[in-house]
Amino acid sequence: MKKKMLVVLMVVLATILTACGGSNDANGNEDGKVKIRMLTRMAGTSTQAQIYKDIIKEFEAKHSDVVVVDESQGDESAFNNKLKTDLASGTLPNIFRVQGVANLNEYIESGLLMDMDPILKEDPEWGEHFTEGALKYYQVPGHEGTYGIPMESGLIGVYYNDELLKKAGVSEFPETWSELTAAIKKINKIDVTPIALGAKATYMAGHLHNQIFYKWMGTEAAKKLGTRELKWTDPDVVKTLEYVDELNKLDAFGQSAAGISDEIAVADFLEGKAAMIITGPWNIGKFTNTSETEYADSIKLAKFPYFDEKPEFKDEDMQIISPYMVNGKLEGKEKEYTIELLKMLTSADAAKRFAEEAQFLIPRSDIDIDESKVSDLFLHNIELGSTSTGIAVDVFDFDPLPSMQDRTRNSIVSILIGGKAKDAAKEIQSEIDKSK
Backbone φ and ψ for 233, nearest 5 degrees, come out as -90, 0
Does the pLDDT of residue 373 top 70, yes or no?
A: yes
Residue (of 328, 282, 321) closest to 95 by Cα position: 328
Q: Of 90 and 162, which is predicted with more confidence?
A: 162
Residue 161's pLDDT is: 98
Residue 274's pLDDT is: 98
Does the pLDDT of residue 386 top 90, yes or no?
A: no
pTM listed for this prediction: 0.78
Kindly report, residue by residue over 152-186, the tens digit of the pLDDT: 999 999 999 999 999 999 999 999 999 999 999 99
Domains and CATH numbers, the chain: 2-150+326-366 (3.40.190.10), 155-318+394-433 (3.40.190.10)
Instruction: Report residue 137's pLDDT band, with 50, 70 and 90 as the boundaries.
Output: confident
Does the pLDDT of residue 209 top 90, yes or no?
A: yes
| Alpha carbons 374 and 356: distance in angstroms, whole number | 5
Among the ranges given (206-210, 212-216, 243-247, 388-392), the one the predictor scored with the smallest mean pLDDT:
388-392
Q: Which amino acid is at 153?
A: S
| Alpha carbons 306 and 174: distance in angstroms, whole number | 9
DSSP string, 334-373: HHHHHHHHHHHHHSHHHHHHHHHHH--B--BS-----GGG
Residue 179's pLDDT is: 98
Q: Identify the three-state secondary structure at position 329.
A: coil
Cα dihedral 339, 340, 341, 344 sign: positive
Q: What mean pLDDT is predicted for residues 309-337? A: 95
Q: What mean pLDDT is predicted for residues 70-97? A: 91
Does the pLDDT of residue 80 top 50, yes or no?
A: yes
Does the pLDDT of residue 127 top 50, yes or no?
A: yes
Kindly report, residue by residue over 331-355, the tens digit of the pLDDT: 999 999 999 999 999 999 999 999 9
Does the pLDDT of residue 92 top 60, yes or no?
A: yes
Share of the chain above pLDDT 70, in %: 93
Q: Of 254 and 11, which is predicted with more confidence?
A: 254
Residue 19's pLDDT is: 42
4 to 222, 225, 410: CA distances (angstroms): 20, 17, 21
Residue 128's pLDDT is: 94
Q: What mean pLDDT is predicted for residues 256-285? A: 94
Residue 30's pLDDT is: 55
Among the ranges given (10-19, 122-131, 297-306), the one the predictor scored with the smallest mean pLDDT:
10-19
Does the pLDDT of residue 18 top 50, yes or no?
A: no
